[in-house]
Structure 1
């Protein structure tokens, strides 16, 4: 599983010109599901993201969590995070098939809700337009295959 998490002042996702989900301060999460992902990985990723402390405290240090600042989550499915970039035209065969990816995408949002957050979202498989006002900017990459704190062995 891969997630690009951006700290935002605001973010929204539109489908067919209508807003499907929007948040104020919080995290825009672009979420990609790989073929080897499972519910355990989803739970760990949700735990890490929901507990992430990257909001500034009174002294300007990134020390506060999403909960502490009353932030929201906007989750958008993003199979292109698994793009094979060996050629000029990316291939996407390394992304999970929709029958695996969609339930895990839903499970991720459910796990974030279980942490007490309202979760806004896009629509799996839809053509979407995402807007965000990045804060910082602070953008972090989580990858369940990495072993440096972004992955399953952290």
Structure 2
């Protein structure tokens, strides 16, 4: 897999201007020859971020909230490796990140879990409509075999009528 780095200038993230990123993902998503190759390959890179963890920056969080709102299947494209920031980008988009003296934490709750499952289901549904393997998309975001999310995502996809019961 070739990593697709999307550089986001400060002039865009400070204004929550997702136009360039949305256009790239839309163009790739509409191209059957490219979409499968881009699954799990995108890394977002924010330019000129002040010191500190970028996903705690309110302007970056606002950018991400808008991105996830307008491109709900963005997790399909993002590299799910923990170091890539895909999950933190999602958690930042819903305001679930918090910083303490011990580091940055996800403030997990039932609402956060439900939002995450919906975002992951959107990525899975996008995969299905593109002829890709939705299970592989979901499994990309599983870091522990004990914490599988397949049953939750399958239930959402079934309820949406995307896959049969």
**Greater strand percent: which structure?**
1
Give the alignment's TM-score, normalised by structure 1. 0.31
Q: Whose RCO is larger (CA < 8 A, sep 6+)? A: 1
**Greater helix percent: which structure?**
2
